[in-house]
Amino acid sequence: MIIDLTDTTSSEIASALLKARRHAGSPAMGMVGTIVVVVDEASHHDAMKAANEAGREHPSRVLVAILRPGRGAPGLDAEVRVGEGIPGEAVLLRLHGELAKVPESVITPLLLPDSPVIVWWPGGGPRVPAEDPLGRLGRRRVTDAASTRRASIDFSARAEGYKPGDTDFAWTRLTPWRALMAAALDQYPTKVTGAEVAAAKGNPSADLMAAWLQSRLKVPVEQRNSRGPGVTAVRLFTPSGPIALTRPDGAVATFSVPGQPDRPVALKRRTTSELLSEELRRLDPDDVYAKTLACMVERDQMPAAEKKVDAAARKSTAASVSAAGKKVVAAQPEPAAKKTGAKKTVVKKAAAKKSAAKKTVARKSAAKKVAGSKRVAKR
């Protein structure tokens, strides 16, 4: 059911939601929270679609706010949707004029009571989400640095103004990468001497991945540009060889561990609705993200040389020791005792040959004498 409201108010929208639920035959709400989406006119369709798909796992009331500040008269237009394949409720709000500067006055009366509020900015979001008028309403504030060109500046500001509940889709995209690398070190505990992250140029997830590795492992982490898509490889350099997770095609990755055969791992790039669903599963503060943000700011201030992994850290110690051992064995001279023993053996063999030759000559001579004596006796 779709209800269009022009030049309306929050109370009329709430009444339209109640009417739509009763018409759909479900007077009880049965929703677990409210998702507030702050978006522009061009991308509101994709954002609402992603929020509704996430609602299949977490039925929610979705409030999509399109802010149109200007000199015109303040006004509010709404479109209420219930049913029609929507697991919860969806309201599209267009705020005009001065009303767009105070969107919390429209959104607050429409929030579900006694339930969490998640505020999502698909287009990047404010530099300090917790200070935004709508951000103050949310228990979880979700931004997406990949949607803006000033990701490094935004992350610096968000690190300074971080509040529990802040997160970013650039961080959410790293969840399977971080899980696999942590599992690798759990299964094959070893010393890590350095790390490397390869990704498309300007990818904010790569910056966060490098900061996370540095904050957890306390080793230099080098970043390299690749053709993408997204993050394409993460390598941990160890004395036994590199632990690597490479994904050149954005779908299937190869997991490599020293001394083990390579294994394929499903690691496809997730959709926006899947990322939003993950954020809805946990609403507690993400302390690891906060520490990673702080480390990312530290890395921005570090000299470039300190973010490089030297050749000694990249090289496998086991391989270098083995190669060095072979060179030593090949270049090492034979001991004097061995040489003396070899000479004695050669002398003994030569003497034995001479003795055998003398015995052979003596036998032939004795045989000739016997044959001569027999001839004399016959005569």
* pLDDT for position 122: 92
Report the C-alpha gap between 170 and 355 in whole angstroms: 89
* pLDDT for position 202: 87
Greatest C-alpha distance within the chain:
158
Report the C-alpha gap between 109 and 181 in whole angstroms: 45
Question: Which stretches does DSSP call E strand in the chain?
Answer: 2-5, 33-39, 60-68, 75-83, 86-96, 117-120, 140-143, 166-168, 194-200, 221-226, 231-237, 243-246, 252-256, 263-266
Q: Which two tokens stand for residue 30?
A: 């049965």
Measured between alpha carbons, how far is residue 201 from residues 15, 147, 223, 251 in Å? 49, 14, 10, 19
- Flag whether the pTM goes above 0.95: no
Q: Which two tokens stand for residue 226?
A: 């690749």
Give per-residue pLDDT as tens, 254-302: 999 988 899 999 999 999 999 999 999 888 889 999 999 999 989 988 8
Question: For 359-364, what is the mean pLDDT?
Answer: 61
Give per-residue pLDDT as tens, 86-128: 777 899 999 999 999 999 999 999 999 889 999 999 988 888 9
Give per-residue pLDDT as tens, 190-238: 899 999 999 999 899 999 999 999 999 999 999 999 988 999 999 999 9
* pLDDT for position 311: 84
Check residues 341 and 79 and name the one with the higher pLDDT: 79
Residue 92, beta-bridge partner list: 64, 79
Strands 263-266 and 194-200: unpaired
Q: Which two tokens stand for residue 287?
A: 């302390």
Q: How confident is the model at residue 317 (pLDDT cuts 50, 70, 90)?
A: low
* pLDDT for position 377: 45
* pLDDT for position 325: 42
Q: Is 238 helix (H, G, I), strand (E, B) or coil?
A: coil
Above 50 in pLDDT, residue 329?
no
**Helices 44-54, 272-281: crossing angle, 10 deg rounding:** 50
Distance of CA 224 to the CA centre of its chain: 15
DSSP per position, 275-297: HHHHHHH--S--HHHHHHHHHHH
Q: Which two tokens stand for residue 19?
A: 């009417």
Question: For 49-61, what is the mean pLDDT?
Answer: 88
Q: Is 78 helix (H, G, I), strand (E, B) or coil?
A: strand
Q: How confident is the model at residue 320 (pLDDT cuts 50, 70, 90)?
A: very low
